[in-house]
Structure 1
């Protein structure tokens, strides 16, 4: 369908409570406020004709556009080149504090840097996924867009000597249209302020330039806190900034992606809302952030996880933890379909909310407790009450691990005995035992050890496929699953064990396509959904990590370098890569950028190893203590 940019033709800006997507030709086609998971204000990304947008582009019939981030920041610059001159849009959101707010500012500076350039401006909000009507009040200094529940004020950035907003008018839909002509060196623009119905005020260029300087300074300072000094530093920095942009500062929660409804297959039904915090993603992010030296962000995520553990409010059959929550920790994620939107390039249904929230996914307990253990190793130690709650969680795991579940990929084809879920329950109990023994904390260690060992034996007996000579997706199939790439990373099996090397070889033959990795084969393992999907970018980076740990450094590096070519022009990744190389799925995806950081850290460490040890895998975690040592530590 015409009118839709590629998913990858976007940059991301944000203020640490919400964010917006900006296309390479100057349109903001996705913006929700006041939070990531709030109803949309601009939603043309999911319905080009009815979703709403903020568009600024040259009036020239022919122009080219380029896009870049102002170095080491989240300030986005879109440049236009025409025969008459060169112009720029500079989009950013001044950083909001850690206190939740309904008021957010989105600033668009419009600048002519060479020659002359005319710009056409269209402001077309569609509140609440275009379900809420609004009225528009237009003045010489801006406009107020006001609906029954939502409001937004637009302030025009101009100088006293300027003419009034040239040719500005409001049409029958309440949209504002204007034209602006600038000469070299002139800067004007717009300030959109959500959560307020005025008053409209005059905004000077000097004011937005000051906000620009403050925003640039914030991001440069934040990035300067990184301790990463290895290869691929620019790539790692961009992934770190992207993760920060997807973090909700008031709670520390990290959204899986700032978008909803972007398809895993164009025209298909695999269109999910990712604007929530998954326990799994939050857990993995603790590793990545601590790996870069961001202890404050890791601690905030740790507190978010701790709060969820301490609440222990069971969802619909999901156990003590839900698999995902809203960014503030609430659990109301009822799924609905926006029937009046056609979806990205006709990909319907457009889903808001997420019906998978009540699924039983046993792996989340291992990921959560593993992140607590990892944070503990970096000095972020859990207090007494937190320990009691975690013990209750581990008691539940020790009693409930041996049952079918929906699995990590949130399939809707029924519960199975997924190997990955069992693996992460082994991790949960193993890390609980380590924490108890290292700190001398009270715990039913005999029971935890017995269940941990039972899981280990079951995986080795039932999770291994003699026919495939590989670990399998679940006990009732011989299908391979890329989630099991984490088996060596969590210390369940050594990276050079023959069983593991055989598994890697089997995955390479079935799941890997010129370095890109599929999650699994949907035809061989029905997941309850129609259609197909692309390769999963996080799985590709997990494959790099596994290869590096196994000492296959040349292959790991080539795979990693190839994967970097699939990033968009700004270094951002969506969830998947289609057969054509096009990015598909929600964008940008936190899990992909987390996996990129982890793979880069592991690969860089291995490449830096001395030649005599370059082929040896780096240990994922400290070696387990013998039982006698554990017992002595527990008695200390």
Structure 2
């Protein structure tokens, strides 16, 4: 088997989940990633990180085939249809959403149905508990085959006889037209649960269909356009990455998918980054998913309530865990030899001053949607703003979490300015007690400092960090967060410099062109492409922005999913997948383009309109 056959392209995978964990399904019907019981838990299946030792659950035709993938309507129920010379059959994969349907959430359902002819399948389950570190025992039982390892166990309930050999469970299935078979992977806690597979499927489809964004033909939907379906799929991805218990949203459901295939840029993204809060809340609220927006807001407000501002971390576990020790799994080879394989994330211990501005953007966004602050909540927010006054002039690791030492990043300074600016607006609007004059003084000091040290007159643009001439895509956010208006020549100069030095083929935007302390290269960052689209749309270059957005959407996976990055040369997806921030970018770019084309949303204008003084005439 070739490397390409062992490791399908990242964008070839589909994702299903139950609002607590997710599974990735390859085009050949192999589930190659499945942490349990939560996203950040150790894996039961991880062949995507090691084809030989990771573990998989595969149901695939024994003869040559072609496969097509689709989600059932606007749901997270995945269908893989196989066509062989002898017939056509479909494997349907799903997990019932936790606390949303009356079926056990800890059961992975796989339905195999034959539409015509005859199709023979090979069934293979190779569980590898705890990333393959736990010794597993496998035995036949009345209902199927039971596998145990570490603290977890699985029961494969099967309609066919199964054999056990060398840690693998195998069997053969033959279906004729009109026949179907169900395979249920019952995980710890669901071995004896009552299940009705057909009812579980119907209720899961009904849940997603009822939940997802919908608009009548007569509605003036802000997301109207040829990208509407892509926005809806992005919404479904964001929901799939939302933890049902806490409301936290994972950056991605995977760990260590490489930003540079064969390289070392492999990170665990199964956590929530506070820097994502402002733009994520904006996306959720404008999609009409107000409950999810409020739950997410309440979750990170609780984190702020619990910690002294100095102790607030850039990222947390989905239950609020702060100990995210980064470790390397040397026994796994990594996706296509990309090592080391890492779990946990050392960035949790970095100093990232931009986090505070992102938090204040989210608080202000919720204020715009009518969510006030209690006295206790305001006390914590006031403490954060006061803390920013103390530390804004210190170096940090920045939004990109560089590992080459702290620096005076322009974006971090600007987001500290945002913390003061939004803190002043929230205090004034809500009548909250605050040292307003002191905050105004610091806000102006930060602004003057950034304009003096962060802007390069010769380049005609803002740079990545003081004392360098490197350009950073975060410069596109300066007008969106209100630091300068869109028509300011320094903003337009920065956009031009980013187009000149970071842009490839009109749509692929690199994060920066400076050294980050790591070997190797990375792809273009999807979110940065979205930032460029936003900046162009709100600078009056609406047709240009729309053209680039439509080009970007051509690189969506066949299922409408996006990884963190794209390879500018091949269009292949890189990094963890699907990536929440990439899909947030799709939603917000569609939102800004909608505004620029004259559409409105039921709520307040989004922050790029409200704060950024756009050049485009939104009334035209």
Question: Does TM, scored on the shorter chain, surpass 0.5?
Answer: yes
> Residue deviations 1:421-479, cap 9 Å, x none?
01111111111100111111100111111111111111111111011100110111011
Q: Of 232, 236, 261, which residue of structure 2 is paired with 1:241? A: 236
- CA deviation profile, 1:599-629 (whole Å, cap 9, x unmatched): 111012102279xxxxxx99532589xxxxx
Q: Which of 312, 315, 320 is the matching residue for 2:311?
A: 320
CA distance in 1, matches of 2:519, 2:132: 28
Aligned position for 2:292? 297
Q: In the aligned structure 2, how far is the partner of 1:200 from the partner of 1:310?
A: 39
Distance 1:256 1:535, change over 3 A: same
Query: How far apart are the structure 1 equivalents of 2:612 and 2:87?
Result: 63
Q: 2:16 aligns with which of 13, 22, 33?
A: 13
Report the 3-state secondary structure (helix = DSSP H, G, I; strand = E; otherwise coil) of the residue aligned with 2:151. coil
Q: Secondary structure at the match of 2:470?
A: coil
1:144–1:197 Cα contact (<8 Å) kept: no
Shift, 1:98, TM fit: 8.1
Moved more, 121-130 or 219-228: 219-228
Structure 1 residue 587 corresponds to structure 2 residue 577 = yes
- Note the C-alpha offset of 1:515: 2.3
Q: Is the 8 A contact 1:137 1:143 kept in 2?
A: yes
Paired position in structure 2 for 1:105: 107
For residue 350 of structure 1, what is the aligned residue in structure 2? 341
Bigger mean CA offset, 272-281 vs 181-190? 181-190
Contact 1:94 1:211 in 2 (8 A): yes
**Counterpart in the other structure of 1:117:** 119
Contact 2:461 2:493 in 1 (8 A): yes
Q: Deviations over 1:60-88 (max 9, x none)?
A: 1x110110111110000000001111000
SS of alignment partner, residue 254 of structure 1: coil
CA contact (8 A) 2:71 2:79 kept: yes
Identify which of 598, 605, 610 aligns with 2:595.
Answer: 605
Contact 2:22/2:34 (8 A) holds in 1: yes
The whole-number CA distance in structure 1 between the counterparts of 2:423 and 2:473 is 26
Please list, as runs of the form range in 1=range in 2, the aligned pairs for 1:59-74 lying within 5 A after superposition.
59-60=62-63, 62-74=64-76
Q: CA deviation at 1:376?
A: 0.9
Which residue number in structure 1 is paired with residue 171 of structure 2?
Answer: 178
Q: Which residue of 2 aligns with 1:214?
A: 203
**Cα 1:111–1:541 shift into 2, 3 Å:** same
Q: 1:458 maps to which residue? A: 449
State the shift of 1:520 in Å. 4.0
Q: 1:531 aligns with which of 515, 520, 534?
A: 520
Residue 569 in 1 paired to residue 558 in 2?
yes
Give the alignment's Cα RMSD to 1 decimal: 2.0
- Cα distance in 2 for partners of 1:397, 1:127 equals 44
The aligned residue for residue 77 of structure 1 is 79
Shift of 1:415: 0.8
Displaced runs of 4 or more, over 6 A: none
Q: How many correspondences in the alignment?
A: 597
Indicate conservation of the 8 Å contact 1:465/1:478, yes or no: yes
1:391 equivalenced with 2:382 (yes/no): yes
Q: Deviations over 1:44-66 (max 9, x none)?
A: 00000000000000111x11011
Contact 2:223 2:594 in 1 (8 A): no
Paired residues of 2:253 and 2:577 also in contact (CA < 8 A): yes
Question: Is the CA contact (8 Å cut-off) linking 1:153 and 1:193 kept in structure 2?
Answer: yes
| Alignment correspondent of 2:617 | none
The within-5 A match list for 1:545-560 is 545-560=534-549
Separation in 2, partners of 1:263, 1:330: 25
SS at match of 2:171: strand
Task: Name the counterpart of 2:184.
Answer: 191
Decide whether the 8 Å contact of 2:365 with 2:607 is kept in 1: no
Q: Distance in 2 between matches of 1:379 and 1:65?
A: 48
1:499 pairs with 2:499: no
Structure-to-structure mapping, 1:33-182, within 5 angstroms: 33-60=36-63, 62-97=64-99, 104-139=106-141, 141-156=143-158, 158=159, 165-166=160-161, 168-173=162-167, 175-182=168-175
| 1:332 and 2:335 matched | no
Alpha-carbon distance between aligned partners in 2 of 1:199 and 1:558, rounded to the nearest angstrom: 54
Cα pair 1:253 1:282 within 8 Å, conserved = no
Q: Distance in 2 between matches of 1:6 and 1:609?
A: 37
| Counterpart for residue 616 of structure 2 | none
